[in-house]
Structure 1
Amino acid sequence: MSNALGSGPSDSDGPSSRVRVGVLSFHNSKETKAILNAVSALGHEPVWLREESARTWIESGALRFDPDVDVVANRLLLTKASQPLDDLGVATGYTASRPVLNPPDAVMRASHKYAAAALLATAGVPVPDAYMAFTNRTLDERDRLTAGTVVHKSAIGTHGDRMSLVDATDAVSPRIDRRRAFLQEFIDTGTERAFDVRVYVVDGRVVGAMKRYAPSDEWRTNVAVGGDVEDFTAALPDEAARLSRDATDALDLDYAGVDLLCRDDAWYVLEVNVTAGFKGLFDATGISPAPSIARLAIERAGGRVDPDRVTALSTTLDDSVPDCTPPIEPTDEGPETIGYTERVAVSTEQGTADVIAKSDTGARRTSIDLDVAATIGAGPIVDTTQVKSGSRTGRRKRALVEVDVRIGGRWHTVTASVENRSHMSYPVLLGRDVLDGYRINVTKGAPEE
């Protein structure tokens, strides 16, 4: 590989040089797009570090990145990642030679809600009482938790997913959806309609605050479940603002959304959200945190920003598709030609199999053999489909799983059906869901081993 890629920003350019800000994000969130657009609007260069475009290697003792950047804003959504430790490792690689906003060790601490509460409590930040145990028996023996209503919640999750209110003596599971869970004291605000407060903090400064009201038939206030929002920036009490800053600082985060509740004039920090959304806050306050995050990244790398420009940009949430969005696949001169049979790779996060597949433009969906699915650890089942049963009358149900298929030099993520193809010549059939964009030469076939 070429040595053209640098191992870090050049000091010779001086602090006023144009900064390349990488936003590390493997998902297409509005927040990622807004930060990238803000970097561009502030006169610096945004770079979207996503799976389709980013790579790194070690060459002759030097750490290389492509594309190269001066600073990284970490926007990895670990709460929904199937393998969060893998993504943390990617972010950790950048910390070896680049400044990283919301560094991975801090994100790991904050993403685990009980661990974050433990750190906040030891730092003197008031949090609700909580209890975590790892078996049904020890979870039931929760005499340390006060009687009354408690919240049963996943230790890792977003949008209030699968949270429930239970009595302090109810039998509950130590896991929710295969993730560890814990119990947290329910803070009753004593108001007719349940609400909490979300405060967005960037670089130790409150950018904006909103009240979030639960729907009439709900106790959760999350915007994702239909909660209403109201501007609370000017009315935010000094104590709530201080706790929000203290909580972010205690977890060593550069930016976060802090959720608080007030009971009897005492404020408590419920959660600290590393990848808190921008839309609800903007709808309530007319303030976007994106320009403030972009400013912090640029200045962290030694660049300069006009503060008045940051203020002006904060009144708009520009989450349009950035010009720097990398193409999902490399462009070429035209459709690739493949054979009637083709050697392909079928992959999941658990494994990969190299097999010969048959192209079938008459099939709507790609299908894989049961043995191939078992070899690569395909699953979980995301749905089922009904198919004709061949020589038999009626229809049969098949499981659907998500797999990645490489044809030539291109990868495709498809929802493939799983069937017993042991009586067929080829373990994988390529349907129109992956064949679109290819030319098929029916006289060409993959060499048999």
Structure 2
Amino acid sequence: MSEASGSDPPKTADTAAGVRVGVLSFHNSKETKAILNAVRALGHEPVWLREENVRSWIEDESLRFDPDVEVVANRLLTTKAVQPLDDLGVATSYAASRPVLNPPDVVVRAIHKYGAAATLTAAGIPVPEAYLALSHRTINEGNRLAGERAVHKSAIGTNGDRMAVVGADDAVSPYIARRRAFLQEFIDTGTERPFDVRAYVVGGRVVAAMKRYAPSDEWRTNVAVGGEVEDFTADLPEEAARLSREAADALDLDYAGVDLLCRDGAWYVLEVNVTAGFKGLFEATGISPAPHIAALAIDRGGGRVDPDRVAELAETLDDSVPECKPPTDPEPERSTTIGYTERVTVSAGQQAVDVIAKSDTGAQRTSIDFDVAAEIGAGPIIDTVYVKSGSRTGRQKRPVVEIDVKIGNRWQTVTASIEDRNHMTYPVLLGRDLLDGYRVDITKREREE
């Protein structure tokens, strides 16, 4: 590694040169793009920290990064990541020597909804009553909530996914989609059309707020399920604004979407969302949180911004692809040829093994033998699929895992099905999910050594 690629922890930024603001995000969300564009518009340098470009190393007792930045805004979508702790480990590396907005230890505490509610309760912030138990027996007996209805919800999740209203005596599971679940008091707002309030807090200040109304055939208000939005920024009661600020502060969040409900004049904090979206909020209020987040990051990095310019930029949501987006790993050229059988390397993190694989353009998905999957430590199972096998009658149900496959000099990640291929010649079958972009030469065969 060259000295130019990394550096010791940065000193106070030269405001004339601008602050290098890294946005740590492995996805292509509107929010990430908007923050990066806002950094640029405020006269500073945005750096998109992605899997394609991030490197770090420890050398001569110094921690170094490439690309190097002076401050990081954490926008990792941990609730949707396959390996969230691995992703947060990257943020932890930056936090060891750089200021990080929404640092990883804070995110871990905030994304677990019951754990966050416990923290808010300890801080004296009103939340709906809730009940957590970890087994099928204990969640269905004892100190269940007293109300006639409750919300059965995942402890970690977004967009109201798989939440359900249950009765007081309904049997429920301690899991939803293999994640722990809990019961939360169903708060009836007493209005003809159910609604809640989303207040977006940045740097201890509410920058915008909206009402979210449930669709006519729904009780959930999430925009993702069709909820309608309405500006509530100017009308947000001071009590609700205060609770929003205090909730973000109690969880040590630099920015967050705080969801609130009001019953009989009393406000409750329903949830605090670490990576709340901007689209619905901007649609309702005409205010984008992105420039406010960018300004906070620049300030933490030792730079300066013009508050009037921040307010001006907040009137638009520029989610165009920023110039700083790093190039993705190169796709194979159409002229690249792969044999009918090919020596490949497969890995799932624990070990990498070389095998002879068969190319099959008629198969949609790559598949791997049980023994090879066990050898490389493939897992966890992320799904199951039904596959029509050419060697057996009917459709077979198979588990699906994520693996890495190296063809030539190029690694690709795919979700492969696991099957017993002991009765077949080749332990790995390459499907169209890997072969797209290659030309298969059926006369080219890899010889066993």
Q: 1:116 and 1:417, CA in 2 relative to 1: closer, same or farther beyond 3 A?
A: closer
Shift of 1:62: 1.0
Structure 1 residue aligned with 2:199: 199
Most deviating of 79-88 and 108-117 = 79-88
Secondary structure at the aligned position of 1:78 is classed as coil
Shift of 1:372: 2.4
Which deviates further from its counterpart, 424-433 or 25-34?
424-433
Residue by residue, what CA displacement relative to the aligned partner does 1:143-199 show, whole Å, maximum 9, x if unpaired? Answer: 363232111111111111121111223222222222211111111110011100000
Task: Check the 8 A contact 1:19/1:301 in 2, yes or no.
Answer: yes
**Residues 313-336 of structure 1: CA deviation (Å, up to 9, x unaligned):** 111111222222222214899965
Q: For the residues of structure 1 that align with 2:216 and 2:155, how far apart are their CA atoms?
A: 26
Task: Tell me if structure 1 keeps the 8 A contact 2:9–2:63.
Answer: no
Report the more deviating stretch, 427-436 or 309-318.
427-436
Are the counterparts in 1 of residues 378 and 403 from structure 2 also a CA contact under 8 Å?
no
Query: Residue 232 of structure 1 corresponds to which residue in structure 2?
Result: 232
Of the structure 1 ranges 214-223 and 51-60, higher mean CA displacement relative to structure 2 is found in 51-60
Letter paired with 1:8: P
**Cα gap change, 1:134 to 1:436, in 2 (>3 Å):** closer
Q: What amino acid sits opposite 2:222 in the alignment?
A: N
Report the TM-score, using the length of structure 1 for normalisation.
0.91
* Separation in 1, partners of 2:212, 2:172: 28
Structure 1 residues 327, 264: closer, same or farther in 2, change over 3 A? same
Question: In 2, Cα distance between the equivalents of 1:442 and 1:132?
Answer: 57
Matched, 1:175 2:175: yes
Alpha-carbon spacing, 1:215–1:334, altered in 2? closer, same or farther (3 Å): closer
Unaligned 5+ segments in structure 2 are none
**CA positional deviation for 1:370:** 3.4
Go from structure 1 to structure 2 and tell me whether the alpha carbon gap of 1:147 and 1:438 turns closer, same or farther (over 3 Å shift): closer
* Equivalent of 1:381 in 380, 383, 405: 383
- TM alignment of 1:35-434, pairs within 5 A: 35-143=35-143, 145-330=145-330, 341-348=341-348, 352-360=352-360, 365-375=365-375, 376-378=377-379, 379-387=381-389, 389=390, 396-397=395-396, 399=398, 401=400, 402-434=402-434
Matches of 1:198 and 1:363, distance apart in 2: 46
> Which TM-score applies when normalising by structure 2?
0.91
Give CA-to-partner distance per residue, 1:111-141, whole Å, 9 cap, x none. Answer: 0111111111111111111111222332233
Cα separation, 2, equivalents of 1:114 and 1:359: 47
RMSD between superposed Cα atoms in Å: 2.6
In structure 2, C-alpha distance between the alignment counterparts of 1:133 and 1:208, rounded to whole Å = 36
Quick check: 2:110–2:116 contact (8 Å CA) kept in 1? Answer: yes
Report the CA distance shift for 1:20/1:445 in structure 2 as closer, same or farther (over 3 A). Answer: farther
Change (3 A) 1:316 1:400: farther
Deviates more, 1:115-124 or 1:37-46: 37-46
1:6 counterpart letter in structure 2? S
How many angstroms apart in 1 are the aligned matches of 2:432 and 2:151? 47
Q: CA deviation at 1:354?
A: 3.0
Greater CA drift, 159-168 or 82-91: 82-91
CA apart distance, 1:430 = 2.8
Q: How far, CA to CA, are the matches of 1:262 and 1:325 in structure 2?
A: 42
User: Identity percentage over the alignment?
Assistant: 72
Structure 1 Cα separation of the partners of residues 69 and 334 of structure 2: 31
Conservation of the 8 A alpha-carbon contact between 1:369 and 1:418: yes
- Could you list the runs of 5+ residues in structure 1 that have no partner in the other structure? none
In 2, the alpha carbon distance for the partners of 1:371 and 1:364 equals: 22
Between the aligned partners of 2:95 and 2:130, the Cα distance in structure 1 is 33
- Bigger drift between 232-241 and 84-93 goes to 84-93
* Shift in alpha-carbon separation, 1:216–1:361, aligned structure 2, 3 A: closer
Change (3 A) 1:261 1:231: same
